[in-house]
Amino acid sequence: MEYKIRDIDLAVEGSRKIGWALEHMPVLAKIREDFAKNRPLKGVKIAACLHVTPETAALMITLREGGAEVRLTASNPLSTKDDVAASLVKDHGVPVFAIHGEDRESYYENIERAASFNPQITMDDGGDLTTYLHQNGLTGGVLGGTEETTTGVIRFRAMERDGALMYPIIAVNDSRTKYLFDNRYGTGQSTIDGILRATNLLIAGSNFVVCGYGWCGRGVAMRARGMGARVIVTEVDPIKALEAHMDGFTVMPIERAAEIGDFFVTVTGDKNVIGRSAIEKLKSGAILANSGHFDVEIDKKALYDLAERVEEARPQVKRFILKDGRKIYLLSDARLVNLSAAEGHPPTVMDMSFANQALAALYILENSDKLENRVYTLPYEIDERIARLKLESLGVEIDSLTPEQKRYLENWREGT
């Protein structure tokens, strides 16, 4: 079997981590049970470009139980857990092409290795594999792909608009059982976790600036408030800004927030959100972190231009000593702080995200003759099924409508 990983001898620790994730992903376990019984993905080749974590390993194992042949490559060089990669190869026979900290060249060579397997289904987190297949004219045999994250969905919608999309994409990110939980509670918790592990500083009493009030930004702002910070939100969207304001956060432009912030987290999906002029206004000691998919949100070039020297302050923390004497700290090289400095989202929330991924693969297979080269959201029934399974696993019971209540909702004449 072909693979490219750091060290196969790391498999023992990787296996423990995968075991822990499997134990805490009950919805995926239920799907895996069904897959093992019915083998609905028998012989289907799936290439996945996802963060190589224990939770992703649980997804790979599930797809294999469904009969698929899978290959896994990384969606970010810093999120790869080498021990997990080793266990996937050694214990589960899954070809993995990913090494923690690999350079850009190795990252793309590994994507090429996943692509050269001629997949029928692609799974992306950020869109790099699908983009590679499109740019190299390799989309011929692909029935469809899935996309895990907001940034990737934005990329694919731009391709759809340009008529450049060569196969259908299921925007897993846009399932309610994904973005309402993974983006909000997952990013909220794992971002704070990454900042704490990297810095070991106190959040209570700090001015904590969250750039972007999408679902991820809401989660980060909510959790920072829970830790006792004074949370400031920056936004460009007037409706989201208004929501942040009414949720009780202070809203202001980044140029003003720059002057008072102690911690900054970017979660917008766009570039130079903390740009040169904001960096010029930062207080000495400011800590900058990113939880958006790509490392474009903080203007790293400006930081290097303004720096007299750059030091390794701690693992995952660079200290920029600027020419004017200020010290600015950058976490995880402005890459996803939650996956670089911490372990990403907990398995308990990835459970629903990856249940969506597994069912999206099945959906593509069962509907490929009907799907056009467009971006789709999974049908509501699938979302609802995942939510019900999650509730069941949590032991939470809910009510259902009586026939009378159903009739009332359907009958527009009946008002009083």
Nearer to ligand ADE, 125 or 299 (CB): 125
Cα distance between residue 377 and residue 113, in whole Å: 28
Nearest distance from C-beta of residue 311 to ligand ADE, angstroms: 29
For ligand ADE, the closer CB: 56 or 316: 56
Give, to the nearest 10 degrees, the angle between helix 26-38 and helix 54-65: 20
Which one, 56 or 122, has the nearer CB to ligand ADE?
Answer: 56
Place of tokens 């509907």: 367
Q: How far apart are CA 182 and CA 216, in angstroms?
A: 8
Among 24, 30, 32, 51, binds ligand ADE (CB under 6 A): 51
369/359 Cα distance (integer angstroms): 17
State which residue, 20 or 117, has the beta carbon closest to ligand ADE: 20
Which residue in the set 11, 26, 53, 357 belongs to the binding site for ligand ADE (CB under 6 A)? 53
Nearer to ligand ADE (CB atom), residue 123 or residue 298 = 123
Phi/psi of residue 125, nearest 5 degrees: -130, 90
Smallest distance from the beta carbon of 199 to ligand ADE, in angstroms?
20
Residue found by looking up tokens 């809910």 in the block? 398
Site for ligand ADE, residues 331 to 350, rule: CB under 6 A: 339, 344-345, 350
Contact at 8 Å (CB) between 22 and 47? no
The smaller minimum CB distance to ligand ADE, of residues 261 and 292, is found at 292
Q: Can residue 197 be called a binding residue for ligand ADE (CB under 6 A)?
A: no
Give the one residue of 5, 27, 56, 348 binding ligand ADE; rule: CB under 6 A: 56
Identity of the residue, 77 or 344, whose beta carbon is nearer to ligand ADE in the bound complex: 344
Give the E-state strand segments of 177-252 in sequence order: 207-211, 230-234, 250-251
* Alpha-carbon span 226 to 232, nearest angstrom: 14
Number of residues that bind ligand ADE (CB under 6 A): 9
Query: According to the binding rule CB under 6 A, does residue 293 interact with ligand ADE?
Result: no
Dihedral, CA atoms, 331, 335, 341, 345, nearest 10 degrees? Answer: 140
CA distance 48 to 72: 5
The smaller minimum CB distance to ligand ADE, of residues 46 and 257, is found at 46
- Least separation in angstroms between CB 59 and ligand ADE: 8
List CB contacts of 14: < 8 A, sequence separation 6 or more. Answer: 54, 57, 81, 82, 83, 84, 85, 86, 87, 88, 91
| Least Cβ distance, residue 103 to ligand ADE (angstroms) | 21
State yes or no: residue 76 binds ligand ADE (CB under 6 A): no
Rg (the chain; Cα; Å): 22
The region of 12-20, 46-54, 284-292, 367-375 touching ligand ADE under the rule CB under 6 A is 46-54
Instruction: Answer yes or no: are the C-beta atoms of 121 and 361 closer than 8 Å.
Output: yes
Nearest approach, Cβ of residue 148 and ligand ADE (Å): 7
Chain residues binding ligand ADE by CB under 6 A are: 50-51, 53, 55-56, 339, 344-345, 350
